[in-house]
Amino acid sequence: MNELLLNIALADDDEDDRMLFSEAIEDLDMRTKLSVFNHGQELMDYLNLPNIVLPNLIFLDLNMPIKNGKQCLVEIRKNPRLKDVCVAIYSTSSSEKDIEDTFLNGANIYIKKPNNYSKLLEVIEKVLQLNWQYHTSNLNKETFLFRL
C-alpha cells in the first residue's frame, strides 16, 4: 500500500479532534494526503467542485453544525459522482440508532472515536489498511461497527 497515495478527507467540527487526527495521519508511515473540513457543508462544497481528485475515504463526524454527518452521507450516496467513495462514520456516539441509521444510509464503517492517541493511531492505521473491495462486499452489521 505504501506506493499508493491515499486521498483522505475528514469533516469534524471539533478543533482538537481535527488536530489529533492530522497528527495521527502524519505519524503513520503511509502515503496520504489529508483534507480537513470544519463542518459538513464545507466538505460538500469541496466534493462538488468540478476538477478535484475525489477522496478514497471520508471520515465523517455525525454531530456537526450547519450540515451534520448523516446529511452529508445521504447527499454523498445520492450523487452519482460520489456514491462509490468509502465513508467512515467517525463519532463519539455509540447510540444504536446512529449506528443503524448510518448503516442503512450506506456508510462503509462506523468508528467510535478513541479516547487516547495510541488507540487513535491504531484505529486509523487499521482502517487505512482495510481491503475496501473485500470489506464492502461482505458488509453486514457485525463488520460495520469497527472494534479494536
Cell representation of residue 18: 481535527
Tell me the whole-structure pTM to 2 decimals. 0.88
Split at pLDDT 50, 70, 90, the class of 145 is low
Q: Are 40 and 11 in contact (CB under 8 A)?
A: yes
Contacts of 56 (CB under 8 A, 6+ apart): 6, 7, 8, 85, 86, 132
> Which element (helix H / strand E) includes 91?
strand 86-91
Distance between CA atoms of 41 and 95, rounded to whole angstroms? 24
Q: Please provide the average confidence, as pLDDT, over all residues in the chain.
A: 87
Residue ranges of domains in the chain, CATH in brackets = 6-146 (3.40.50.2300)
